[in-house]
């Protein structure tokens, strides 16, 4: 089943009265090496912390024609694909009708109850010591919302239950997600994701690997959840309710710090805390009170939130 041939893709789309929809960011992979590499990387991460007998599953977001799906079906025991385009969904159902370990869900992942999806389709795998991953060739316009939706669908006091999110995104966004504090690429999304997970780059994908070709280079990254806010900041409250409040406070501070990133933190956070309190907290942390948010790591933001919200005098 050659799902990376341009002529075959055109033929399949034409037979079903379809064409690539720019509004949904549809760019189909035509380099067969890429979906194989994505699936292999995702499967390798999925099996790191499970025994050889345990099963592994994967949620694929936006399967499209199914080039990546076919590779995932080879290395995962169960594949649940979520597709928003009803036309492509019908084509997908025909293509994978004989695949016993592949199931399609028609819907918008942004409107999906992710914990319920996990329990309904992978509860048995998780209960028996297996793991569940996420794979996706994400449309550029919705990359950040989808990533945060997946991570924030679960309690921040513990680890997000996915073994990894291996996704292909615009290289510029990949640079932001892996940036270090103090660099131009570093921003609120960098710090926000870091509260939940570590991010590593895998490899770049040229525009010529797609039909139709996008105007930018893509990068495959893996987002690997860690133990949550308590792992990122050891002084996070032990009480779960207080810890959730602490996570929310840290997230709000991050968002406000980058809303106008050229402002100092004392000014950027003035709508939330008195300037004197912010300046004093920064001094206690060994930071210049005139520092900007772009200089603070996720751990620094946690420490600042702790000083401003939960520190006992």
CA–CA separation, 153 and 106 (whole Å) = 19
CA angle in degrees (0–180, nearest 5) for 49-54-57: 85
CA–CA separation, 137 and 148 (whole Å) = 16
CATH tag, 233-310 = 1.10.8.100
pTM (two decimals): 0.94
pLDDT tens-digit series, residues 267-308: 999 999 999 999 999 999 999 999 999 999 999 999 999 999
What's the whole-number average pLDDT of the chain? 94
Residues 61/142, Cβ–Cβ less than 8 Å: no
For position 51, what pLDDT does the model report? 83
pLDDT tens-digit series, residues 194-225: 999 999 999 999 999 999 998 899 999 999 99
CA neighbor of 93 nearest in space, from 84, 101, 104, 83: 104
Q: How many CB atoms lie within 10 A of CB 203?
A: 14
For position 22, what pLDDT does the model report? 75
Phi, psi for residue 52 in degrees, rounded to 5: -65, -25
CA angle in degrees (0–180, nearest 5) for 137-184-156: 55
pLDDT tens-digit series, residues 31-76: 999 999 999 999 999 999 898 889 999 999 999 999 999 999 999 9
CA–CA separation, 67 and 30 (whole Å) = 8
For position 311, what pLDDT does the model report? 61
The secondary structure of 205-226, three-state, reads: ECHHHEECCCCCCEEEEEEEEC
CATH 1.10.8.100 in the chain, residue ranges = 233-310
CATH 3.40.50.150 in the chain, residue ranges = 6-229
The separation between CA 74 and the C-alpha centre of its own chain, rounded to angstroms, equals 23
Residues 90/67, Cβ–Cβ less than 8 Å: no
CA–CA separation, 50 and 77 (whole Å) = 13
* Domain covering 6-229: architecture: 3-Layer(aba) Sandwich (3.40)
Torsion (CA) 177, 224, 142, 140 in degrees, nearest 10: 60
């Amino acid at each position: 089943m050659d799902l990376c041939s341009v002529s075959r893709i055109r033929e399949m789309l034409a037979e079903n009265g379809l064409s690539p929809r720019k509004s949904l960011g549809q760019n189909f992979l035509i380099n067969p090496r890429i979906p194989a590499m994505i699936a292999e990387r995702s499967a390798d991460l999925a099996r790191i912390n499970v025994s050889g007998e345990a099963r592994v599953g994967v949620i694929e977001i936006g399967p499209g024609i199914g080039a990546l799906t076919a590779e995932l079906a080879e290395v995962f025991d169960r594949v649940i694909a979520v597709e928003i385009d009803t036309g492509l969904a019908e084509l997908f159902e025909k293509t994978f009708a004989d695949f016993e370990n592949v199931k399609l869900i028609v819907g918008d992942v942004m409107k999906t109850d992710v914990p319920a999806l996990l329990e309904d389709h992978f509860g048995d795998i998780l209960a028996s010591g297996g793991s569940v991953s996420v794979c996706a060739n994400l449309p550029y316009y919705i990359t950040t919302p989808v990533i945060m939706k997946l991570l924030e669908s679960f309690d921040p006091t513990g680890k997000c239950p996915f073994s990894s999110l291996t996704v292909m995104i615009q290289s510029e966004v990949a640079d932001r997600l892996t940036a270090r504090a103090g660099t131009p690429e570093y921003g609120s999304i960098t710090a926000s994701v870091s509260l939940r997970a570590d991010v590593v780059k895998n490899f770049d994908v040229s525009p010529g690997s797609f039909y139709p070709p996008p105007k930018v280079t893509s990068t495959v990254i893996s987002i690997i959840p860690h133990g949550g806010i308590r792992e990122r900041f050891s002084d996070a409250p032990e009480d779960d309710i207080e810890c959730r409040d602490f996570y929310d406070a840290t997230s709000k501070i991050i968002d406000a710090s980058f809303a106008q990133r050229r402002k100092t933190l004392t000014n950027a956070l003035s709508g939330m805390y008195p300037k004197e309190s912010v300046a004093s907290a920064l001094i206690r942390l060994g930071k210049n009170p005139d520092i900007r948010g772009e200089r603070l790591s996720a751990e620094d933001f946690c420490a600042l939130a702790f000083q401003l919200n939960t520190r006992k005098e």
